[in-house]
Chain A
Amino acid sequence: MNRAATAAAWAISGVVFGAGLSLSGMINPRKVLAFLDVTGAWDPTLVLVMVAAVATPMILFRVVLRRETPFLDSRFYLPTRRDLDARLIGGAALFGVGWGIAGYCPGPAIAAFSVDLREPAIFCAAMIAGMYLSDLVPQWRASGQPA
């Protein structure tokens, strides 16, 4: 496959995604925390961000997946698991706590380097440390036994 075209595809997708994070307000941790603050001065903007961000692929993924392969690779790489396990739920719960403390999820935390250095640098360094830390947590099989 054409390596330059693949590199350009990743870069352009990132640019469009980053513009969306900035335009939508997701990049602003104050706005994100105001969305999560349902008993305070609630800002419902992120409901609309989610609606538009979900509706677009909900319609267009179908069109894309009518193709046998993507334009620049030999196959689609789609998650296939459908089971629920403690790792998924515990991980999601922990993610939400971190999101609620600082107001950043991974995309906005990285895109926020366009706004400021201090906050995204501290947050992203800790986030990357957390990702390496997750490599130390043993994998669990669906049966609940350590793999």
Chain B
Amino acid sequence: MEGFTPAAGLAGGFLIGLAAVMLLALTGRIAGISGILSGAIHAGEGRSGRWLFLAGLVAGAAVHQWLSGAALPVRELSWPLLAAGGLAVGLGTRLGSGCTSGHGVCGIARLSPRSIVATVVFMSTGIATVFVTRHLLGWAT
């Protein structure tokens, strides 16, 4: 085990869950980031709210780092890996109707069978991918 931060993990997870509760209570929407991003980039009603949410993600993270003084280390992953990862995440989350937040948090909280299956699948392929890239191919990801 390395870098285990249980208290921050639990507190941060609580804030993520709380944000999902707030969004549902106020707007009636599920806090799935891939769905919110897709709504923001496609034409349609309610785009401005989605852009405000996405700006809030950056602002909230910046405020936490400013208040805590925690400067996160900048990583320098090569651009082809970033681009390949981004393309797979964008395509996969739309085909699969959700990501870590929509399926992994909100969907599991609602005991949705689709979300439970999707989460098991993306966790499994994520673990398998890291095994292949780091341990079989020896990439420094």
Q: Which residues on A are within 8 Å of B, measured CB to CB?
A: 6-7, 9-31, 33-34, 36-58, 60-61, 64-65, 67, 69-73, 75-79, 81-84, 87-107, 109-116, 118-119, 122-135, 137
Query: From DSSP, what is the main secondary structure of chain B's interface residues?
Result: helix
13 pairs across A/B with beta carbons < 8 Å?
A9-B26, A10-B27, A10-B49, A13-B22, A22-B60, A23-B15, A30-B73, A42-B1, A50-B104, A56-B16, A70-B27, A78-B30, A79-B30
Which residue of the partner chain B has the closest CB to A9? B26
CB–CB A29/B19 < 8 A:
no
- Write out, one digit per residue, whether chain B residues 100-119 have a CB within 8 A of any chain A CB (1) or not (0): 11011111111011100111
Q: Which residues on B are within 8 Å of A, measured CB to CB?
A: 1-6, 8-31, 33-34, 37-38, 41, 48-50, 52-65, 68, 70, 72-77, 79, 81-97, 99-101, 103-110, 112-114, 117-119, 121-131, 133-135, 141
CB–CB B24/A45 < 8 A:
no
Q: Closest Cβ of chain A: how far from B82's Cβ, in Å?
A: 4
Q: Which one of B6, B18, B85, B105 has the highest number of Cβ atoms from chain A below 10 Å of its Cβ? A: B85
